[in-house]
Amino acid sequence: MEKTKQQKAKDFIINNGVIIVMFILVIYTGLTSDNFLTRNNLMNILMNMSSRLVIALGIAGCVITAGCDLSAGRMIGFAACIAGTLLQRIDYSGKFFPDMQPMNVFLALIVVMAICAAFGSITGFFIAYLSVPPFIATLAMMEIVYGISLIYTGATPLGGYVKSYTDIANGKFLGISWLIWIAILVAVITWFIFNMTRHGKYMYAIGGNPQAAEVAGVPVKATMILIYMKAAAMYGLAGFMLGAKAGGASVNLGYGYEMEAIAACTIGGVSVTGGRGKVSSAIIGVAVFELLKAALQYLGVDANAQYIAIGIVIFVAISLDIRKYVAKK
Amino acid sequence: MAEYKLELKGVCKSFPGVKALDNVQLSLRPGTVHALMGENGAGKSTLMKCLFGIYRMDAGEVILDGKKIEINNPDEAMKYGIAMVHQELQPVPARSVAENLYLGRFPTKGFGPFKMIDHKTMYAETERWLKEVKMDFDPKAQLGSLSIGQMQSVEIAKAVSQQAKVVIFDEPTSSLSDNEVEALFRIMNDLRDKGVAMVYISHKMDEIKRIADDITIMRDGTYVGTWPAAELSTDQIIAKMVGRELTNVYPPKENKPGEVIMEVKDLCSIHEKSFQHVSFELRKGEILGFGGLVGAQRTELMEGIFGIRGIASGEIYMHGKKTRIKHPIDAMNAGIGLITEDRRGNGIFGCLSIKDNVGVSVYNKFLKAGFVLDHKKINQVVDDSIKKLSIKTPSMKEHIANLSGGNQQKVIVARWLANDPDVLIMDEPTRGIDVGAKHEIYEIMSDLAKQGKAIIMISSEMSELLGMADRICVMCNGKLTGEIDQPEEMTQARVMGFATKF
């Protein structure tokens, strides 16, 4: 059956509803307020997007396997705190390790990501081998990581970073912040993993039908552990990036980001029932989120009311998205 | 009063790619048991699900007591006094018998809008209804703690308690012991005396002859006819069900069984009630059929061999070498493939493309630099198998969920062929697919056997078993009860004899 033009247009609107609404909002905001569509402001939005995208890409792997990761937010705070303690100036008065030379920035990043990955693999172990539902396992890890951050830092905020660390946010390459370059690099690597490696294909298979994956000879358990480990390493990177951008960190950094990341993924089209989702979904979702926040701010919407707007967008976006998959009886 | 309690007329129902029901009719007289018969996939359960409002029929009408009615969901069906005892029971095993009986219509007490559940009445009433069906277990017992037969009595008690005037039994005896079957028949006779019209779906001829008053036969989703049960002999029933010469359906046996390739010795499940002490041999180029009733533990045995289910003891030899299989990956490395019975449940990845459905098992083999997928080669393999198995699809990017059952099955076959196994286990390979596709699957199996692959085929369709297998093993209740290796001895009676050797 050939679809009529009208039907096609209708399908297009339903399939891309969120993006269309987003464009309208951005254009409207651009026309009504002078400073919205400026290079500076757009760069700023991209900077905000960069760390959010890294988190969303990490969590996307969990969501594609019909899981989730509630520990992301706390893991980000933890990572930012570790990075902070390793990269303070030697002459900073409130230095956490007073006599320690600041570590090499890249070495510190590797340490942070490795520690997070270790915690992520523990979560993965409980999910894969002991069949703890991801929601509960990551909830448990969220509590544990938060406790460790509190004990480690004594709940004191960190600051006085070496220039080489803050330069990751302030420094530019080809006129674009390093943070944005990092996000682009992570997106490319994630795309490669999702599409060009066995691990990616196994991930989709497990998300699509875990029983069938087992029968088809997919190493389900190892794949699950790797997914949560990889995700945690990415939260580590995101925490590192946020610390660089803020020039400081506290244990509460990143709190609630996991929910925004899950929401962004689903808005972009990663299905919470598993098996569906691309790198572009996470990018679209994060872009929608950050553009929405910025546009609402420029339109002068009350900061508190913005939460309501975001909630409504999630409702509408997911309802539209799910229409693509729910078969009519 | 109308002659018929309930009539179905001109019922049509299509699923994507398959016309499941085509102009089917059914007329139930009050106070009778009406047997609905047909091969697996003939559309019996689909028809009943349409009647019960689980599926929406594309066309057709339901007439109850001479009046046309419309049933949109099971709830409405129950309000009209139509109840169904499902093929797969759909209760809530973690809750009590009484709660299951009154699910959705709990007795309440209280004032005005402040209602709470009246547990006392619920338990008392449950006890009464259980007595009605000659059962006397505790209404507070957890449903999951009962046997399948007892659970079924609860379902029947539920139907009786709703004053159902039409009760559908969808293969109720497939997992019952003899005593439980007797109990069921006593209840059915009671209901018949009370004027209840019953639909009885079963494959067991002796039961049909005992209990049925009328017989309606269906074939490939169409209506064949209705006769008084006394007028039809068992052979006539089978002839009408199959409706074609058996000899033409199956490809000629041109494969030559060779040396032993796989040997299973004394294999026991970790579950006492599952397969125990099973031994058999499989030869190169052979199609070994596994017959038996539903619940004979054939699927469990194969899943045990494939490393999905736990093995307590026993050995598996591949090419004469003892092989330890603890995970499907071990089985695949040993050269075994498994096409599962429940295609939707653990066969296909519905939301993935044909390419990914084929590729998932072979991505290991197509790598560049050790870890980068070689999409070009994978595409080639998938493309080849689409052509070779004539899978009907616009492209390999199509989601497998959009294909018909037969084409989905071919995709699964392609997945395993890409793996090049020596032994391919096919569990109910033609379940739920239409006749044309069935024939194609048979051709594929025959070709594979000619190429020297060894095939194990579990089948509950007698004609398929007799038509395809070179040798037949029959299981009953977890044990291997017989093996038939002489072609002239392969008869329905022999197989059924072994299958019911409890």
* DSSP structural state of residue B355: H
d(CA B172, CA B170): 5
CATH number at residue A194: 1.10.3470
Mode of pairing for the β-strands spanning B423-427 and B454-458: parallel
Interface of A with B in 62-81 (CB under 8 A): none
Among the ranges A7-16, A91-100, B62-71, B198-207, which has the highest mean pLDDT value?
Answer: B62-71
Q: How far is A94 from chain B (nearest CA, A)?
A: 47
d(CA B348, CA B409): 9
Identity of the amino acid at B47? L
Q: Which residues pair with B197 in a beta bridge?
A: B166
Mean pLDDT, all residues of chain A: 87
With 60 as the cut, is the pLDDT of residue A156 above it? yes
The answer to whether A211 faces chain B, any CB pair under 8 Å, is yes
Across the beta sheet with B471-476, the strand order is B336-339, B423-427, B454-458, B287-291, B471-476, B479-484
Query: A212 and B348: CB-CB below 8 Å?
Result: yes
In a mutational test of the A interface, the residue from B327, B343, B344, B349 whose CB has the highest number of chain A CBs within 10 Å is B349
With 60 as the cut, is the pLDDT of residue A329 above it? no
The answer to whether A263 faces chain B, any CB pair under 8 Å, is no
pLDDT digit string (tens) for A172-228?
888 888 999 999 999 999 999 998 888 988 999 999 888 888 888 888 999 999 999
Query: B328 and A271: CB-CB below 8 Å?
Result: no
Question: Cβ of B105: how many Cβ atoms within 10 Å?
Answer: 12
Q: Which of B329, B349, B415 sits opposite A209 (nearest CB)?
A: B349
Residues in B closer than 8 angstroms to A269, CB to CB, are: none
Residues in A closer than 8 angstroms to B346, CB to CB, are: 209, 211-212, 214-215
Identify the H or E element spanning B313. strand B311-318
- Residue the block writes with tokens 């002490």: B277
Q: Is B251 within a domain?
A: no
pLDDT attached to residue A328: 45
Q: Is A41 within a domain?
A: yes
d(CA A328, CA B425): 34
Q: How far is CA A170 from CA A164, B140, B344, in A?
A: 10, 69, 53
3-class secondary structure, A184: helix
Alpha-carbon dihedral angle through residues B468, B470, B471, B474, given to the nearest 10 degrees: 0
Q: Is B472 within a domain?
A: yes
Question: Cβ of B242: how many Cβ atoms within 10 Å?
Answer: 16
Q: Are A161 and A243 in contact (CB under 8 A)?
A: yes
pLDDT attached to residue B2: 63
More confident residue, A3 or B105: B105
Query: B360 and A325: CB-CB below 8 Å?
Result: no
The reply to whether B232 and B297 lie within a common domain is no
DSSP character string of B179-203: HHHHHHHHHHHHHHHTT-EEEEE-S
The reply to whether B64 and B176 lie within a common domain is yes
Residues in A closer than 8 angstroms to B345, CB to CB, are: 209, 211-212
Q: Are B206 and B178 in contact (CB under 8 A)?
A: no
The answer to whether A61 faces chain B, any CB pair under 8 Å, is no
Q: Are B211 and B185 in contact (CB under 8 A)?
A: yes
Q: Is A3 within a domain?
A: no
Q: Is B252 within a domain?
A: no
Closest CA to B347 of B413, B397, B301, B295: B413
Query: A209 and B350: CB-CB below 8 Å?
Result: yes
Q: Are A239 and A77 in contact (CB under 8 A)?
A: yes
CATH number at residue B166: 3.40.50.300
Closest CA to A309 of A16, A69, A14, A25: A25
Mode of pairing for the β-strands spanning B336-339 and B222-228: unpaired
Q: Is A12 within a domain?
A: no
- Give the domain extent around A74: 21-323
The reply to whether B13 and B106 lie within a common domain is yes
d(CA A66, CA A206): 8
Closest CA to B415 of A194, A199, A213: A213
Q: Is B469 within a domain?
A: yes
The reply to whether B301 and B439 lie within a common domain is yes
pLDDT digit string (tens) for A243-276?
999 888 888 898 889 888 998 898 888 888 888 8
Residues in B closer than 8 angstroms to A212, CB to CB, are: 340, 345-349
Residue pLDDT tens, chain B, 502 long? 568 888 889 999 887 666 788 899 999 998 999 999 887 667 888 888 888 888 888 888 899 888 888 888 888 888 888 888 875 556 777 788 888 888 777 777 877 777 788 888 888 888 888 887 777 788 888 877 777 777 777 888 888 888 888 988 887 776 666 777 888 888 888 888 988 899 998 877 778 888 899 999 988 788 988 999 888 887 788 778 777 554 457 888 888 888 999 999 999 999 888 899 999 999 999 999 998 877 788 999 999 999 998 899 999 999 989 999 999 999 999 999 999 988 888 889 988 999 999 988 888 888 888 888 888 999 999 999 899 888 888 888 888 888 877 888 899 999 999 888 999 999 988 877 766 778 888 989 999 999 999 999 998 878 888 888 999 999 988 889 989 988 888 887 788 888 777 6
Q: Read off φ and ψ for residue B351, nearest 5 degrees.
A: -90, 5
Q: What is the tally of structural domains in chain B?
A: 3
Query: B360 and A205: CB-CB below 8 Å?
Result: yes
Identity of the amino acid at B422? D
Q: How far is CA B156 from CA B162, B194, B219, B222, B422, in A?
A: 10, 14, 28, 29, 47
Residues in B closer than 8 angstroms to A209, CB to CB, are: 345-346, 348-350
Instruction: Tell which of B388, B420, B452 closes a domain.
Output: B420
Instruction: Tell which of B392, B420, B448 closes a domain.
Output: B420
In a mutational test of the A interface, the residue from B360, B419, B420 whose CB has the highest number of chain A CBs within 10 Å is B360
- Rounded to 10 deg, the angle between the A220-246 and A163-170 helix axes is 100
Q: How far is CA B468 from CA B25, B289, B337, B424, B455, in A?
A: 33, 8, 19, 15, 11
The reply to whether B226 and B278 lie within a common domain is no
Q: Are A180 and A187 in contact (CB under 8 A)?
A: no
DSSP character string of A264-291: HHHHHT--TTSS---HHHHHHHHHHHHH
Query: A208 and B55: CB-CB below 8 Å?
Result: no
Query: A196 and B373: CB-CB below 8 Å?
Result: yes
Percent of chain A whose pLDDT exceeds 90: 39
Identity of the amino acid at B184? L
The reply to whether B135 and B215 lie within a common domain is yes
Identify the H or E element spanning B115. strand B114-117
The answer to whether A325 faces chain B, any CB pair under 8 Å, is yes
Query: A202 and B360: CB-CB below 8 Å?
Result: yes
Q: Is B121 within a domain?
A: yes
Mode of pairing for the β-strands spanning B197-201 and B166-170: parallel
Residues in B closer than 8 angstroms to A218, CB to CB, are: 360-361
Closest CA to B155 of B217, B89, B224: B89
The reply to whether B297 and B364 lie within a common domain is no
With 70 as the cut, is the pLDDT of residue A292 above it? yes
Q: Which of B332, B356, B415 sits opposite A201 (nearest CB)?
A: B356
pLDDT attached to residue A137: 94
Q: How far is A275 from chain B (nearest CA, A)?
A: 6
Question: What are the residues whose beta carbons fall under 8 Å from the beta carbon of B176, sequence distance 6 or more?
Answer: B148, B149, B152, B184
Residues in A closer than 8 angstroms to B413, CB to CB, are: none
Q: What is the tally of structural domains in chain A?
A: 1
d(CA B89, CA B494): 31
ipTM entry:
0.81
- Specify burial of residue A71 (Cβ count, 10 A radius: 0-12, 13-18, 19+): buried
- Give the domain extent around B96: 6-245
d(CA B52, CA B66): 18
Query: B372 and A196: CB-CB below 8 Å?
Result: yes
Residues in B closer than 8 angstroms to A214, CB to CB, are: 308, 328, 346
pLDDT digit string (tens) for A18-73?
778 788 888 888 888 878 788 888 888 888 899 999 999 999 999 999 889 999 99
Q: Which two tokens stand for residue A81?
A: 């705190």
pLDDT attached to residue B89: 56
Query: A204 and B352: CB-CB below 8 Å?
Result: yes
Q: Are B6 and B64 in contact (CB under 8 A)?
A: yes
Closest CA to B213 of B461, B62, B4: B4
Q: Which of A198, A208, A214 sits opposite B308 (nearest CB)?
A: A214
Identity of the amino acid at B311? I
pLDDT attached to residue B268: 92
The reply to whether B127 and B214 lie within a common domain is yes
Q: Are B2 and B66 in contact (CB under 8 A)?
A: yes
Question: Cβ of A134: how many Cβ atoms within 10 Å?
Answer: 22
Alpha-carbon dihedral angle through residues B153, B154, B155, B156, given to the nearest 10 degrees: 50
Question: Cβ of A318: how many Cβ atoms within 10 Å?
Answer: 17
Closest CA to A159 of A255, A104, A84, A245: A84
Q: Is A7 within a domain?
A: no
Identify the H or E element spanning B225. strand B222-228
Q: Is A67 within a domain?
A: yes
Q: How many residues does chain A have?
A: 329
The reply to whether B22 and B109 lie within a common domain is yes
Q: How far is CA B328 from CA A15, B305, B344, B430, in A?
A: 39, 9, 18, 23
The reply to whether B108 and B78 lie within a common domain is yes
Q: Is B250 within a domain?
A: no
Residues in A closer than 8 angstroms to B360, CB to CB, are: 201-202, 205, 213, 216-218
d(CA B228, CA B34): 9
Across the beta sheet with B166-170, the strand order is B67-69, B59-64, B6-15, B18-28, B222-228, B214-219, B33-37, B197-201, B166-170, B82-85
Q: Of A83-87, A281-285, B250-254, which gets the smallest average pLDDT?
A: B250-254
Instruction: Tell which of B189, B220, B245 closes a domain.
Output: B245
Q: Read off φ and ψ for residue B115, nearest 5 degrees.
A: -110, 140
Q: Read off φ and ψ for residue B473, nearest 5 degrees.
A: -100, 140
d(CA A204, CA A64): 6
Q: How far is B400 from chain A (nearest CA, A)?
A: 12
The reply to whether B428 and B480 lie within a common domain is yes
Q: How far is B401 from chain A (nearest CA, A)?
A: 11
The reply to whether B168 and B279 lie within a common domain is no
Q: How far is A246 from chain B (nearest CA, A)?
A: 37
DSSP character string of A73-110: HHHHHHHHHHHHHHSB-TT-TT-SSTTPPPPPHHHHHH
pLDDT digit string (tens) for B193-205?
988 899 998 877 7
d(CA B96, CA B92): 8
Question: Cβ of A311: how many Cβ atoms within 10 Å?
Answer: 11
The answer to whether A281 faces chain B, any CB pair under 8 Å, is no
d(CA A175, CA A43): 10
